[in-house]
Amino acid sequence: MSGTAGKAADAEFDAYAARYDEALAAGLSVTGEDKDYYARGRMRWLAGRLRAMGVAAPGTVLDFGCGLGGSTPLFLDMLGARQVVGVDVSEGLLERAREAFAGEPRARFKSIESYEAPATADLAFVNGVFHHIPPADRAGALAYVRRTLKPGGLFAFWENNPWNPGTRWIMSRVSFDANAITLTPPEARRLLRAAGFAIVETDFLFIFPRALRLLRPLELPLARLPLGGQYMVLCRAPR
């Protein structure tokens, strides 16, 4: 990201560092679930897709826009990663992540400006970050992710689905999403292809709120339809 965009995002999320979870919970509460339900659901879905592709557990995961590092235990436990490097523009969020995982030697948290290790990550992951990046800076952010990946490494690109009215309602209730500029799935795929990634598949998840949880077994057969509250574009870096 450019310095200007990075500083703007840094200031925005530093302002929310102490109440990030509270702000997120205000939006998710309408679904009847909390952030852990969605975090585990994303990781379970990704783990299943990796197994279906015959992909072994990743050695190093880059968590782009890691925030408080909440996905770190899931990378280690559910994906079997050997180490996780979380990067973010907000030093306030990074400091809280370092404190939370001070006893976990397999996790490191770095600012995006200070960390770049070309071709070292087996898997990159991002969730709900790109709608906070100004459109003019998104190509640069993807170039950064691509540089960190090994040849042929995978990138799990998760974003909020603006075609889902429930998603738009939730985002309207989250204070740090006030200035978000959402990406439709075709827009995300175009950006990823332009950055040199090969698209593997696009899946949609989280169709039914807790009140309709008995219908959740239907989410697997419906995953290719643009119904879910989030989507994942799984793609691959050039070999």
pLDDT digits (tens, 9 = 90+) for 15-71: 555 576 777 778 788 899 999 999 999 999 999 999 999 998 999 999 999 999 999
d(CA 186, CA 189): 5
Residue 234: name the closest of 25, 6, 55 by CA: 55
Residue 127: name the closest of 67, 180, 37 by CA: 67
Checking if the pLDDT of 2 tops 90, the result is: no
- Does residue 203 contact residue 49 with C-beta atoms inside 8 Å? yes
Instruction: Compute φ and ψ for 165, nearest 5 degrees.
Output: -65, -30
d(CA 239, CA 231): 25
Domain count, the chain: 1
Radius of gyration of the chain (CA): 17
Write the CATH number for 12: 3.40.50.150
Confidence of residue 6 (pLDDT cuts 50, 70, 90): very low
pLDDT, tens only, 91-116: 999 999 999 999 999 999 999 999 98
Mean pLDDT of 116-127: 95
Q: How many helices (H) and strands (E) does the chain have?
A: 8, 7
Domain containing residue 41:
3-236
What percentage of the chain carries pLDDT values higher than 90? 82
